[in-house]
Structure 1
Amino acid sequence: MAYDEVLAERVRELLEEGDVVLAKKMFGGLVFTVQGNTAVGVVGDELLVRVAPDDTPQALAQPGARPFEVRGRISKGWVIVAGEVLDDHVLDDWLQLGRKAAAELPPK
């Protein structure tokens, strides 16, 4: 599955404002790591976001958000956000949430 290159570039630009970010292909898309931990990714035209356990209920209540499923199983700590809700402000909020969750993990 190809990923939305425009969305990926938007993500890269916003993340690079504050951190050293690496991008690598994974999950059939492109993921972005902060301090070696995956924070967010672009899968198709959607955003994959790492979410801390305490933030998960609030994250899933946001417009366009749903649990990330792999082979019919929900992956805890991850949320998928529909691309059509990702205006610049909303995208930045999701990136901050992903960055926060990744920062809570030990650096790799």
Structure 2
Amino acid sequence: MSYSEALVERVRSHLHHHDSYQEKKMFGGLAIMLNGNMCCGVVGEELMARVGPERYEACLKVPYVRQMDFTGKPLRGMVYIAAAGVDSEKQLAAWVELSETFALSLDPK
């Protein structure tokens, strides 16, 4: 599966300053890693966000958000956000910051 290079560039602009920033092809798209932990990524035209189990249910109530079910069953703590949900820089920044905060709360790998 391909992924939106334009969306990847927008995500990079928010996270590239981290010394531990890495990109890995995963889930049919591109995942952004911080300290060895997945933070967020892009699959097709959608943002993939690792929001954590505590914020998962609340995030699913936000427009344009759906559960990440890459394996056929939901991956609790991870969501997809449709392109319309990250159309503005303010929307994208909020999701990236939420993912960044969760990823950095984990022990480095």
For Structure 1 versus Structure 2, the TM-score category normalised by the shorter chain is over 0.9
Does structure 1 residue 84 correspond to structure 2 residue 84?
yes
The runs of 5 or more residues in structure 1 that have no matched partner are: none
Compare the two structures and name the one with the higher strand fraction: 1
Instruction: Report deviation, 1:14.
Output: 1.0
In 2, Cα distance between equivalents of 1:71 and 1:22: 23
Q: How is 1:1-108 mapped onto 2 (pairs within 5 angstroms)?
A: 1-17=1-17, 19-20=18-19, 21-86=21-86, 87-108=88-109
The runs of 5 or more residues in structure 2 that have no matched partner are: none
Letter paired with 1:79: V
Verify the 8 A CA contact 2:45 2:83 in the aligned structure 1: yes
Verify the 8 A CA contact 2:39 2:102 in the aligned structure 1: yes
In 1, Cα distance between equivalents of 2:85 and 2:49: 14
Verify the 8 A CA contact 2:46 2:81 in the aligned structure 1: yes
Letter paired with 2:12: R
SS at match of 1:75: coil
Farther-moved stretch of structure 1 (40-49 vs 52-61): 52-61
Structure 1 length-normalised TM: 0.93
CA shift digits 1:20-72 (9 cap, x unpaired): 31111111101101111110010000010111211112211111101000242
In 2, Cα distance between equivalents of 1:72 and 1:52: 19
User: What is the Cα-based RMSD across aligned positions, in Å?
Assistant: 1.1
**Structure 1 segments of 4 or more deviating over 4 A?**
none
Q: What is the percent sequence identity of the aligned residues? A: 38
**How many residues end up aligned between the 2 structures?**
107
Instruction: Report deviation, 1:79.
Output: 0.5
Structure 2 length-normalised TM: 0.92
